[in-house]
Structure 1
Amino acid sequence: MCLRCGGQLYRENNRAYRRLLPLLLGALILFLLSNAYPIVEMDLKGVRSQTTLLDSIQALYADNMALIAILVFITTILFPLVEMLMLLYLLIPMARHRTPANFARVVRCIQRTRPWGMIEVFLVGVLVTVAKLSAMAEVLPGIALWSFATLVVVLAVLMAFDPRDLWQYLDNDQCRDGELSR
């Protein structure tokens, strides 16, 4: 309570993690769309070409830039996907008032992989590239570019939630249910 006006400053919601599950499912769908469809389509003097993220990674690898290709794959596909799947692994049982196996280990893994997911950096790079290429060719943004942009916003909301807070929600649910169920 605010000492000056008496207004409520903070209200703890013991079920806040339940809002994460629909966001996470939406993020997974956006992630699949982002990787399945072309990011951009270019038309240069009547020759059209389009590329997906995986095509870009393969092109980097084929151009003897294996290290960069691996880094792009790890930071834009592997770590974001692994983090979302680990969070899904935790949230589905918790929605049913159950404690997932290896709860502590998974929470620590999420904390370790979180800094490596760099989809937003990739999106900025793509937007800069599209802006520069638009002077030479007609560049049409693809479904994946819009999906990536939306995914960055959804992931920003998801990442605002500290995975360590799941301990608190887990403890509150266990106290309320009177037992620890697996």
Structure 2
Amino acid sequence: MANKNNQPLASAQPLHLNELVGCEECDAIYRKVDLLPNERAYCTCCGAELYRRSRPFSSLLALVITALIVFVIANSFPIVIVELQGNTSQTTLIGAAWTMFHIERPFVGALILMTTFIVPLIELLLLSYVLSCVGLFKCRPHYLRLALKTLFLFRTWGMVEVFLIGVLVTLVKLVGMVTVIPGVALWAFTILSILLVYIASVKIKDLWDEVDRSLT
């Protein structure tokens, strides 16, 4: 990916705010230059990334829709099946959270639901809304500002990959005591984690810039 050599802005010529970008590390101000898809611009003062040209909305929308389908699968099937002396036990993600409420641990149950179900679902739905409006219907979303601000806030709360690591650690500890059979949801959560990490690599400000670029 190319490195565009932006120079710090030194001209007194008036510019619109949309034409400027500030470095998040050293606060140097630059004038934006056009980038090709997947190119990035870096600060010449400290080397930090300033902004990037995101993938086309059509390909990003396809990834988001794929993630939504995998999300439904991950929450519809058992995560693991445990067998002990002929007795079989299995549960889904929502079932595990519901169990926490039953054993009087509502905070843990609410945390599981919030970080692994509610937040990822809202994030994927909002991304689908923004990307489909711009990429398919070529119109500016009515609630674009609210949608992107909500995405920015919720991205720090999505922890599907943390949940997956916790499940894998627990399974390793149980292997010597019971028979553990990975469920469909476990593989789905693995795929979902990879998709969410990739989707999260697209910054909100880059999405905003791409919206303006696509509709001009």
Say yes or no: TM over 0.5. yes
How far residue 8 of structure 1 moved from its aligned partner, in angstroms, is 4.9
Name structure 2 gaps, 5 residues minimum.
5-34, 38-52
Of 64, 70, 76 in structure 2, the residue corresponding to residue 24 of structure 1 is 64
How far residue 159 of structure 1 moved from its aligned partner, in angstroms, is 0.6
* Alpha-carbon distance between aligned partners in 1 of 2:62 and 2:2, rounded to the nearest angstrom: 28
Partner of 1:86: 126
Q: Which amino acid aligns with 1:120?
A: E
- Asked if residue 105 in structure 1 is aligned to residue 129 in structure 2, the reply is no
* Alpha-carbon distance between aligned partners in 2 of 1:41 and 1:8, rounded to the nearest angstrom: 48
Q: 1:164 to 1:9 in 2, by over 3 A?
A: closer
Partner of 1:178: none
Q: Which amino acid aligns with 1:86?
A: L
Q: Which amino acid aligns with 2:161?
A: E
Aligned residues of 1:40 and 1:141 also touching (Cα < 8 A): yes
Q: C-alpha deviations, 1:134-170, integer Å up to 9, x for none?
A: 1110000000000000000011111101122122112
Q: Which amino acid aligns with 1:119?
A: V
Q: 1:152 to 1:8 in 2, by over 3 A?
A: closer
How far residue 70 of structure 1 moved from its aligned partner, in angstroms, is 0.4
* Alpha-carbon distance between aligned partners in 1 of 2:107 and 2:95, rounded to the nearest angstrom: 16
Q: Percent identity?
A: 35
Count matched residues: 169
Partner of 1:114: 155
Q: C-alpha deviations, 1:54-97, integer Å up to 9, x for none?
A: 11111111011011100111001000101111111101110121
Structure of greater relative contact order (alpha carbons < 8 Å, 6+ residues apart): 1
Secondary structure of the corresponding residue to residue 180 of structure 2: strand
TM-score between both structures, scaled by the size of structure 2: 0.75
* Alpha-carbon distance between aligned partners in 1 of 2:177 and 2:147, rounded to the nearest angstrom: 47
Aligned residues of 2:119 and 2:154 also touching (Cα < 8 A): yes
- The alignment's C-alpha RMSD in Å is 1.5
Partner of 2:208: 167
How far residue 18 of structure 1 moved from its aligned partner, in angstroms, is 2.4
Secondary structure of the corresponding residue to residue 100 of structure 1: coil
* Alpha-carbon distance between aligned partners in 1 of 2:59 and 2:111, rounded to the nearest angstrom: 32
Partner of 2:190: 149
Partner of 1:12: 36
* Alpha-carbon distance between aligned partners in 1 of 2:78 and 2:115, rounded to the nearest angstrom: 19
Aligned residues of 2:84 and 2:178 also touching (Cα < 8 A): yes
Partner of 2:175: 134
TM-score between both structures, scaled by the size of structure 1: 0.88
Aligned residues of 1:34 and 1:144 also touching (Cα < 8 A): yes
Give the 5 Å matches for 1:51-90. Answer: 51-90=91-130
Q: 1:93 to 1:151 in 2, by over 3 A?
A: same
After the TM superposition, list the runs of 4 or more consecutive aligned residues in structure 1 that deviate by more than 4 angstroms: 7-11
Higher strand share: 2
Higher helix share: 1
Q: 1:18 to 1:47 in 2, by over 3 A?
A: same
Secondary structure of the corresponding residue to residue 124 of structure 2: helix
